[in-house]
Every structure is written in C-alpha cells, then in structure tokens.
Amino acid sequence: MLYMRKLYNAPFLLILLLFAVQSSNAQNTRPKIGLTLSGGGAKGIAHIGVLKAIDSVGLKVDYVTGTSMGAVVGGLYAAGYNADEILDIAKTLDWTSLLSNDPPVNSLNLKEKEDFGHYFILPLIRGKLALKKGFIESNELWLKLAELYYPYYEINDFSKFEKGFQCIAADVGTGKMVVLKNGNIVNAVRASMAIPSVFTPVEINGKLLVDGGIVRNFPVENVREMGADFVIGSDVSGDQDPVDKIQSPLDIISRLPFFNAVKDLEEQKKLVDIYIDYPLGNYGTSSFSAEEEIIKIGLAKGKELYPKIKRLKDSLDLIYGKEIIEKRVQKKDSVFISQYDIKGIAAYEKPAFVDLIDFVPNSYYTANQLGTSIRSAFSTRAFTKINYSLVPVEPGKAKIIFDVEKAPTTFTRFGLHYNTSTGIALKTGFVKKGFLVPFSTTSFDVSIGENPRAKLGYGFYLTKDRKFTMELEATIETIDINTYNPEFSSTGLYNQVSQNTDFQIVWQPENNWALGFGTSLGYVAFEPKIISQIEANGNLRYMDTYLFLHHNTFNTPLYPNRGSDIYIKAGVVYNQNVDFTISQNGTELANNDSGTLSSSSYTQLRINFEKYFPINKNAFFVQLQSGMNFNYKQAIMNDFVIGGLNNVIRNQITFSGLPEASIFTASAISFKVGYQYAITNNLFVITKVNGLYYDFITSNFRLNTIPHQGIGYSLTGGYRTFLGPIEASLMYSDFNKRIMPYFNLGYILSLD
C-alpha cells in the first residue's frame, strides 16, 4: 500500500483511495478508517480539533489508538463520546486537582482547608520515609476516569466499543511495549499516561506499567494491525521542548524517558495517510494552565483540516455509497449495584469503610453519587487512594470493587515563610491520624525564626456523618512589634508574648459552612525592648466564650477568582487578671490599680467579608474587616492592630499603606476594593484601595489623638508556588504619606 504523509488536493486523495481499496479487500468493501492520537501531555488537548473536523464531516472512524494523553482523548472518543462532549469535559476539568495528590478543595470542610497547600508533606511508617514509586497518585484522576467510563462498565473487550480501541503502555520490568486491548478501561488509560517517576505506575496482569510514550508515542502501526486501511494521525509531540521552554520540574522529568521513542516516531509517521501536527512550540507537556489557548489551536487546526476530511468522506461515498452510521446508544446514568468487595484493608475495617462512604448495596448509583461519597471520605486524609471498578454479574446488575490504600497515620511536614514584619522562619511539624479515636487528628507545628511560634492541636469527629467535631488547640507566639508616634515614625520596639488554649464544638452541615461555639483561656504580655515616648508594660490573663459562623466558597485557597468568605465571631471576655501600666516620659498615665484600666467584662465582635467576582481569569474583589470591643476599659492588650497586607499578628486588621501594628484601637472598620489580573495561571498583579475608620466606639478607654480615618493603596506582584505565594508590594497611605515596600513568601503558621 502507498502511504502519504500529507494530502493536498482531491486527485491525490482519489489515487490514494484507489490503492486503499485494492489493499483492503479483494471484494468491493469500504476501507476501514483508523485514527491515531499521540502523547504529549497538556498539548494532547489539541487532539479535540481533529475530532471536531471528523464529526462535522460525518466520517465514520472504525479504529482508534492512542498513547498517554492521546489514550485519554482517544479512549473517550472510541467509547462513544463525540467531539463536542469531549470539548465540554476538557473545559470543565480542574487540572490542579487532577495533577495532585490532594483532594479537590470543594471536598474539604473548612477545618481541613486551614492548612491546605501550606506544607510539603512526607509520610512516615515506623519512623522512616514512605515514598511511592511516583510523585503523583492522584485519586481525583482515577475518580474522574471512572466517572467518564461509568456508562461502559459492561465492556472489557475494547474492540467492542463504538470504535475499536487500543492504547500503549510500557512494562517497567522489561522496557517493552504493552498493547492494552481488554480489561478495565480506566486502568488501561491511567497506565498509558503514567509518566515514569511523575505518576505512580499501574499494575495490570502482574506487570507494572508506565507511560507508553517511552516506547511508542504515536501508535500508527497498531491501528494498521487492527485493520485500518486509511489512517488519520494527530501528532502533538513535536520536537523535544528546547531548554528555554522548560517551565517546571514536571517538564524536566517528563522529557527524560522519551528520548528512545524519537526514532520510532519517525517510522510511525511514514505509515500515516493524513498527518496532522500543530503549532504548539510555545507549550510544554505540563502547560495545563494554557488549556484554553491549546484548545483554540486545536480547533483552528480542525477547521483547516475540514476540507481534506470532507474530500475523503465524499470520495468514499462516491465509490461505495453513503455509509449508514448507527445511532449512538444512550449512556446509562445509573447502575444497579448488587454486590461489593473492598481490597486493601483488613476485614474488620470494611464495615467502617462502608459506613464512611455511606454505601448501601442493592441500590442504583450514578457516577456522581459514588464520586461525591468517595471524595468526602478521601478528604479525611485517612486514605491515599479510594478507587472503584464495576464488574457485570448479570444483565443490569454490577458488582463494585473498591481499591483502597490507607494513608500512613504519621507524617512530617515542612514550610518556609518570610514577611517584612515577622522575618524569616522555617515551619516544621508532624501529624498523627487516629490517635485515641478513629478519624482523629493530632498535630504539632513550630515556626523557628526571628519571631518563633508553635501550635498543638487535637480534633475528632463526634458523629458518624462527620458533621460535628470537637477541637482542642494550644498556641504560643513571641513577636517583636514596632511602635509609631502620631506622625507614623517608628519610635520603639516591643516584645509581645501570647498564649491561648482553645476548646470548640463545631457543626459543619456542608463543607463550606461551619457554626460553632468555644471557650478559650488567654494570656498576653508586653515588654519594651526599645522604649518609646509612651511606654506600655505588663500582662493580662482572661477567658473568652464565643460563637462563630464561617462560610467559604473560594474556588482556590490562594488567589481565587470567584467565591466568597464570611467570618463572624461574637463573644464575651471575662475573668480578667490585669497587671498593666501605661507611662509617658516616666509618668504613669493609666494602670489597673488607679481604676483607669478595668478588668470588667466586655463584649467583642469580629467580622470579615470577602467576595470575588470573576472577569474571565481575572477578578474584581471587595473586602470588609471590622473589630469592635464594647465597654472596653483597657488599652493595647486586647486591642485590634491595624496595618500590613497579610495576617501575621494577633488581632490584626490588614490595611494597605501601613506596616503592621501602626495603630492600636478598640474599634475599627476597613473596606477594601481591588482588581486581580492573572498574567498566567500562577502570576498575578493585584491592586487595592482601602479606607479605614477607627476609634468610633466612645465607651472605650483610648490614647489615640491622631485622625480617625484614612485611605491607603497597594500594588502587588504575586507568584503561586508549591511553597505558597511569593509577593512583592508597594503601598502608600495618607496617614504616613510614604511609599513603602512589603514582601511576603509562603504562609505563616496561623494561630487565629
């Protein structure tokens, strides 16, 4: 047979088809059409363009082969999804979750979100590091594939799909190619895309399999062997990315195993009749953040390809008559699951697992129902994997097999933080799961640096549905705070030590809602290190009983572009033991013995509201912060401190334009508006304007004599990394009338 790499006009196409006719069969049978999709990581999303061209023409494809991302796209197309459906799927995928070991943010309750993404985590088993065979297991990827192939659970021979299908993997033990043509389609596709050392390998029939791209990234020969007489090949692999296009560690690691497949790729190209490549030189295998741009390139290529595919279809119809394409079988939304089995955990643990995922046999289940229950269980961090597969037992009934891997119960974690106010710190700690009671979490974290702090926590679920929790937490910090005169010049330096022991009962009816009450025992002390004109010295012990409400719908914890956050806390501070004096130039202005400062009870209210309005990938946002003490006859000790762009100090209300603790006050309200512009998926420019009004509750004792309102501004460049944000800012306010730099790296060990 004569194979041509590219077709340009109808005569060439007609000649080629005549050869295809002769080679396909001695009889006058319509040539079989094959489609091959290459691997290429994120670039593989562009394959959707050729699928759109094929569907638009109405050309019937008989066989599909694919490797890696080509297996993902091709498998869906072969099973029965059309191009438009695959395009809709691609647009809605959360690639951050799919390429991570973490559960999706929306599956976490508010307590679990507190430290999400704040640490680099290392699991421990018997005191030793327990590392997997790849960095990424991605339970979310397994679940998403299971959901997409849910309607086709009864098919384990891939040739029985709407279009015959094969995908390529590589055997870790021998380095040889493995052609996956039957079994569990989810396992097959996941194995084909398991980039060595990046994704964990997949075991199939006793073989440990990884990404097929290391042996055959463009499996044209395989689609020929399936019976294809005419092959359309979509190749997004291109040349190896030049060094200046490497964007991430994933790009470096993912390119190393594929050098040996380059020669095979050239041989495979010779077997293609219509060869399609794409102008994707500006994108790498990990460019999932550029999904929209890659889709546009793919769709543009599909439009360019349309005339060729149309000529092919018309020529075939001219020779053989119009082909009747059978109507697609409607996908099943639900499956009746009559039996179940659980692999990976002991028999005595299975009933608790069934309760955890709220599974009831002899019931109908949709993929979404199973996925929601499993994600909820996975969010407890008690498991590193909860997958499932369906096995038909009789017509209309299935057995579900859960594949479960328990997480190590102990892990250590590390983080790094720097802030203009608090200096640099190394965060380290450990977490123990299941201490004393199942599904409990014990944690201890310490921040070692210029201003050390530590936190010890213990929490567990009170009810089986995990809606009620009890939390115990003890914190301590010591921090040096600059003090400022009425002209906002730094005049002194104080050391603040605070301790807090907190008890909470929390009701979480939904993942994004929490309502609770608590009681805390607090201690705070101030000691001057560089004495200013006004000197404060002493300590305070107190009790605080409160109610709180928290609601959070941010789409991502860092640099969200949609969602809101509401936090309201109201309580009574009582049982105060005050030993505190305030002096000016050696003369006492106030102390607890004179009655100027009082230990009587007072009420406190804190409010934070933040809302992001998406504008494509950008966002307009508003924020309201307020702290108010009522009938508060003290100063400094339980004041709210104003200033800074990040929450790093106890009782802080952020304000663009002033450094932290520029103002101490018993009542303040700050309103902020801003715009967040996404240059890339991880690089942002953020502008903020905020107004401040404070000391408006006249029943409180105050020392402030400066104006009670002002405006501030800030401009921030932020970059999202695995360590957290890297931010550089400039800020200005009409309080101090100075442009000031501000820097922040990572997340502080939060104590509030």
**Angle, nearest 10°, between helix axes 291-320 and 83-92?**
170
| Whether the predicted pLDDT of 28 surpasses 90 | no
Summarize the confidence of residues 23-45 as an average pLDDT: 82
pLDDT score recorded for residue 239: 62
705 vs 227: which has the higher pLDDT: 227
| Whether the predicted pLDDT of 29 surpasses 60 | yes
Q: Give the dihedral of Cα atoms 220, 221, 224, 230; nearest 10 deg.
A: 40
Summarize the confidence of residues 160-175 as an average pLDDT: 94
Q: DSSP secondary structure string, 482-500?
A: EEE-TT--EEEEEEEEEEE
Tokens, residue 289: 């953040």
Amino acid letter, 356: L
| Whether the predicted pLDDT of 124 surpasses 60 | yes
| Whether the predicted pLDDT of 738 surpasses 60 | yes
Percent of the chain clearing pLDDT 90 (strictly above): 58
Rg (CA), the chain: 31
Tokens 């038909």 belong to residue: 392
pLDDT score recorded for residue 117: 84
Of the listed ranges 105-119, 414-428, 597-611, the least confidently predicted one is 105-119
| Residue 255 pLDDT grade (very low, low, confident, very high; cuts 50, 70, 90) | low
Judge contact between 618 and 675, C-beta under 8 A: yes
Q: What distance in Å separates the CA atoms of residue 544 and residue 502, rounded to the nearest whole number?
A: 9
| Whether the predicted pLDDT of 104 surpasses 50 | yes
177-199 pLDDT tens trace? 999 999 999 999 999 998 887 88
Percent of the chain clearing pLDDT 70 (strictly above): 89
Tokens, residue 662: 């520029």
Judge contact between 34 and 230, C-beta under 8 A: yes
pLDDT score recorded for residue 580: 81
Summarize the confidence of residues 439-458 as an average pLDDT: 94
535-560 pLDDT tens trace? 778 889 999 999 999 999 998 889 99
| Whether the predicted pLDDT of 257 surpasses 60 | no
Tokens, residue 597: 């400062």
Looking from the CA of 502 toward its CB, the CA atoms found within 13 Å total: 22
| Residue 236 pLDDT grade (very low, low, confident, very high; cuts 50, 70, 90) | very high
514-534 pLDDT tens trace? 999 999 999 999 888 877 767
3-state secondary structure 690-722: EEEEECCCCCCCCCCCCCCEEEEEEEEEEEEEC
pLDDT score recorded for residue 705: 54
Q: What distance in Å separates the CA atoms of residue 294 and residue 281, rounded to the nearest whole number?
A: 11
CA angle 398, 402, 405 (to 5 degrees): 170
pLDDT score recorded for residue 25: 47
Alpha-carbon dihedral sign for residues 348, 353, 358, 359: negative
| Whether the predicted pLDDT of 16 surpasses 80 | no
Neighbours of 530 (CB within 10 A): 12
| Residue 260 pLDDT grade (very low, low, confident, very high; cuts 50, 70, 90) | low
* Burial class (CB within 10 angstroms; exposed 0-12, middle 13-18, buried 19+) of 375: buried
Mean of all residue pLDDT scores within the chain: 87
Judge contact between 94 and 131, C-beta under 8 A: no
Tokens 């007489």 belong to residue: 229
- What CATH number belongs to 425-746? 2.40.160.50
Judge contact between 67 and 213, C-beta under 8 A: yes
355-387 pLDDT tens trace? 889 899 999 999 999 999 999 888 888 888 999
Q: What distance in Å separates the CA atoms of residue 688 and residue 668, rounded to the nearest whole number?
A: 18
Of the listed ranges 3-7, 70-74, 326-330, 561-565, the least confidently predicted one is 3-7
What's the topology of domain 33-101+136-320? Cytosolic phospholipase A2 catalytic domain (3.40.1090)
Q: Are strands 652-653 and 640-642 parallel, antiparallel or unpaired?
A: parallel
Burial 179-201 (b: 16+ CB within 10 A, else e): bbbeebbbbbbbbbbbbbbbbbb
Q: What distance in Å separates the CA atoms of residue 182 and residue 170, rounded to the nearest whole number?
A: 16
Q: What distance in Å separates the CA atoms of residue 54 and residue 67, rounded to the nearest whole number?
A: 20
What Cα–Cα distance (Å) separates residue 712 from each residue in 203, 316, 401, 641, 743? Answer: 58, 70, 58, 16, 17
Burial 293-323 (b: 16+ CB within 10 A, else e): ebbebbbebbeebbebbebbbebbeeeeeee
All residues at 6 or more sequence positions from 736 whose CB lies less than 8 Å from its CB, including other chains: 487, 488, 657, 658, 662
Look at residues 660, 664, 651, 653 and name the one whose alpha carbon lies nearest to residue 691. 653
| Whether the predicted pLDDT of 330 surpasses 80 | no
| Whether the predicted pLDDT of 92 surpasses 80 | yes
628-673 pLDDT tens trace? 999 888 878 889 999 999 999 999 999 999 999 898 899 999 999 9
Amino acid letter, 651: N
| Whether the predicted pLDDT of 298 surpasses 90 | yes
Q: What distance in Å separates the CA atoms of residue 62 and residue 243, rounded to the nearest whole number?
A: 39
User: What values do phi and psi take at 65, rounded to 5?
Assistant: -130, 155
Q: What distance in Å separates the CA atoms of residue 78 and residue 149, rounded to the nearest whole number?
A: 11
| Whether the predicted pLDDT of 398 surpasses 50 | yes
Judge contact between 19 and 2, C-beta under 8 A: yes
- What CATH number belongs to 334-406? 3.10.20.310
| Whether the predicted pLDDT of 3 surpasses 50 | no
pLDDT score recorded for residue 5: 40
What Cα–Cα distance (Å) separates residue 289 from each residue in 103, 129, 247, 648? Answer: 19, 32, 11, 30
Q: What distance in Å separates the CA atoms of residue 198 and residue 456, rounded to the nearest whole number?
A: 34
pLDDT score recorded for residue 8: 41
pLDDT score recorded for residue 17: 53
In 145-225 the beta strands, taken as DSSP E runs, fall at: 164-171, 177-180, 202-204, 207-211
Judge contact between 419 and 744, C-beta under 8 A: yes
Q: What distance in Å separates the CA atoms of residue 134 and residue 701, rounded to the nearest whole number?
A: 60
Q: Give the dihedral of Cα atoms 133, 135, 141, 146; nearest 10 deg.
A: 10
pLDDT score recorded for residue 583: 76
pLDDT score recorded for residue 132: 56
Q: Three-state SS for 368?
A: helix
All residues at 6 or more sequence positions from 304 whose CB lies less than 8 Å from its CB, including other chains: none
| Whether the predicted pLDDT of 277 surpasses 60 | yes
630 vs 130: which has the higher pLDDT: 630
Per domain, the residue ranges of the chain are: 33-101+136-320, 334-406, 425-746
pTM of the prediction?
0.81
Q: How many residues in total does the chain contain?
A: 752
